Structure 1
Amino acid sequence: MDERHDPARARWAVAGLFFIVGIVISTWFTRIPQFKTGLSLSDAELTVALLAPTVGALTGMQFAGRLTARYGSAPIARVTIVLAPAALLIPAASGDLVTAFVGLLVFGVVDGIADVAANAQGVAVERQLRRPVLSGMHAAWGIGAIIGALSGGAAIATGLTVLQHFAVMAAVTVVLALVAGSQLLPAGVDRSQTDRESPKRTSWRTGWTRRVLALGLLGGAAMLCEGAISNWSAVFLHDELAATAAVASLGYSVFTVVETATRLVGDGVRRRVGPVPVVRVSVALAIAGLALVLLGSPSDIVWLAIVGFGLLGAGLAVLNPIVFSAVGHGSVQDTGSADTAGAAIAHYTTMSYGGVLAGPAIVGWLSGAMGLTAALACLLVPLVGIGLFARVTAAAEPAVAD
């Protein structure tokens, strides 16, 4: 194989893609208050604007599978990873809600396609290396998000406007994207030759199998828990355990740091013991963490709950990367070819993204009926479900490359 397309280099290149997306997303999150102030948006108008990236991402995912099959994940990843930070310049430069909404919608579409393409390329790298590496790639996202948040604080402290900040971020990440993109595996590793000759062959049904549906439910359950913890941990510590605002913020911080650190070692552990045992142990850790969180209520043992959120981070860390691998490699096993992997990953990504969106809403709805502590306790249901059906992730063992 050409040295430019060395799988070992491609591994770090894909990690670079995740790192860039983490920076871009985190940069946007840190400047939302200034974005709101700059356009003089009401809370209701901001809510409308914040819907745009979600709608765009879900829309983009519906096209990502077909684009990957037709052109290969590498070309799609190269284009979208450059467009994503550039797209954020539109809302940053906008002077009204409509323009900002359109810009954020475009950003969401590009981000959704980039997510699918990066994971599809990651699965292709695993097949070439014949060992798991996707968890480490996902860890790069977390590292990028931390750096993005820190740079956002620095930009605010130095008085940079939102547009200036996003322009600097775009310039830096585009250079990184060009370097990473040059080291990806060639398009042929997951491009359908038949689809290029007959584009109608790939439809929205391509990639849907019972395995993908089962894995989608598993991944959706995991991401439901992650979305719920991300959005409600600080509220829980503050409202239920009477923690100060500073201490309450530690719940999500500890969760994120431990999750990222666990992903860094997740591939090595999965390589030694296999995906199914790792999923089962991860679920056990998450349940133990949830128990510690709930045991801290309503007493003053705030530190116990914070440790619990850390265990939840460790337990949830590798579930999504393992399921991504199982979807991609399982698609190859089911069809005998890699050209449906992108479509399968696109379907799975849509379902898991749905879990992220549903988690906070479900916990919020349940907390209104039974209280926040009881609502978080209900996360035991999806966690037990993941443990019971962990066997379906056996397909995460990388298939031998052609």
Structure 2
Amino acid sequence: MRIGVVGLGVVGLVTGAVLADQGHEVVGVDIDQNKVKGLQCNRSPIYEPGLDELLLKNKNRFLFTTDYSALKDVDIVFITVATPTVEGKNYIGYVLDAAKTMKPYLKRDAIVVVKSTVVPGTSRKVKQIVEREVVANPEFLKEGSAVIDTIKPDRIVIGSDSKAAGDVIENLWSFTKTVVLRTSIEEAEMIKYAANSFLATKISFINEIANLCEVIPNCDVNTIAKAIGLDKRIAPYFLNAGLGYGGSCFPKDTLAFASFARELGEELKIVEAAIKVNEERPRRAVKIMEELLGELKGKTICILGIAFKPNTDDTRESVALKIAKLLVDIGANVIAYDPKAKTSLVEMVSSKEECVKRSDGVIIATEWDEFRGIEHMLKDKAVLDGRRVLDPNKMSRSKYRAIGLSKVR
């Protein structure tokens, strides 16, 4: 088939690359000329494990352009543009703009697939604009494992009015050999928000338990999480206590979901509580460093990891950068190291060794594998293990704190 992908971020690029690898001809459209030029020269704008190799392997089946007219003969076109949260609400302007711009070029029988995260009712607006069959097909990939998650997803959700259009999209993803759920368009849109909000809530829940463990003698949240995670009704996933969630999905989606509910006269109290807990995490990290070092003004703090999670260079809503800003605002000197991500907010150094050596205190903010086993480097430093990558038994307890680990043992 000939497939269009409008919006070449993580979702669009990975979706296109995986489908190209299945033998389809893919046309990728983006309004960012620099991004498109880079992709035409085999330079991906993002770091995602396995993506560069997939793009290179299928470069003859993946065309990159800023010209919407290249969609004139596609059978299916995916909308994968950004849907940021603006003033607490899901902004769908880019989705609707994409629909309006592509409409004149689409074949009469082309199927438009909305893969961007949108509140219920958005795909119907797209359908009114394009006057073609529209399918809601939300993505559930995780940055850092997006390629694998697209090839082997937990489920495929297909929301459509037309059985025939839904059948086409189901057949397209048949290579994944996974569970397929056929739903209404609105249910498909709702499933994405419900899933992300539930996962965010699990994270905030275990972080509140971590807070409690820190003030109870001989208590470690990791033990608690392991035990409750063995209950099949709970499961161990997203029970890793830490500095909170960030990234391009959970922060914006929980805010947008809560706002959407309020507009309909409902209140998502649990989701709003999860948001509040997460917003408090950066301040808690700074407070712990103050307990270890005293006044932080003039002190040098090393932050290890600024990407919002490992195996990505994405710093959107990064908790590390929120902590860094709080530290800078109170007069601390902040330096940082990350294997892939960059920022202009603070000074970036070239290695973890340099970052630690120059510092009075260290905050491990992203659980990159290279930050494991560095206990020997941290002697005589105040350390906050914000992602639980260190062995507490190898650390000096007077200068070491870990999220969810009792201060008294």
Please identify which structure carries the higher strand content.
Answer: 2
TM range (shorter): under 0.3
TM-score using structure 2 length: 0.23
Please identify which structure carries the higher helix content.
Answer: 1
* Larger RCO, structure (CA 8 Å, separation 6 or more): 1
TM-score using structure 1 length: 0.23
